[in-house]
Structures are given as structure tokens and as C-alpha cells.
């Protein structure tokens, strides 16, 4: 009976190893697909109309600009 338990354990380990390898291949494939579909963000002109704001009371911080969570390498400002 001990041999059966050892064999089943070994077989389970091999199945898990094959599953991990398959998932790693799938992960790499999906990462490649994501990288191929990414396009750089092109910003041709930024116009701020701060003078058009009607502010009655001001407190806190006002951020003006690009605040999107993107990498600097992906943005081309002309």
C-alpha cells in the first residue's frame, strides 16, 4: 500500500508541474499580446482655460496637467 501512495503523490507532483509550465507559457503569450496592442499616446496640444473657471472659494490643491497613470516613455508631446 505504501508504493501506491508514493506513486500517486509522484503522479500528482508531475501533473502540477505540467500545469505550472502550461500556465507560464500562457502567461508569456498573453504578455506578448498586450505589448503588441499597446500604442503610444500622442498629445499634440494642451490648452488650459483657467481664466474661464468661476471660483467662489478656494481651498486645497488644484492640479492642472496630465494626471493619467501612464509611463513617460509612452507619451509623445509635440
Distance CA 69, CA 75 (A): 11
User: pLDDT tens digits for 14-66?
Assistant: 999 999 999 999 999 999 988 888 776 677 777 777 777 777 877 777 666 66
Are the beta carbons of 38 and 71 closer than 8 angstroms?
no
Residue with cell 509635440: 78
What digits encode the pLDDT tens for the residues 49-58?
Answer: 777 777 787 7
Query: Which grid coordinates belong to 12?
Result: 500528482
Amino acid at each position: 500500500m505504501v508504493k501506491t501512495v508514493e506513486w500517486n503523490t509522484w503522479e500528482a507532483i508531475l501533473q502540477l508541474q505540467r500545469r505550472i509550465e502550461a500556465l507560464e507559457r500562457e502567461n508569456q503569450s498573453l504578455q506578448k499580446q498586450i505589448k503588441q496592442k499597446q500604442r503610444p499616446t500622442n498629445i499634440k496640444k494642451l490648452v488650459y482655460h483657467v481664466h474661464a473657471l468661476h471660483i467662489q472659494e478656494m481651498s486645497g490643491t488644484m492640479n492642472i496637467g496630465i494626471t493619467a497613470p501612464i509611463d513617460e516613455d509612452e507619451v509623445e508631446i509635440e
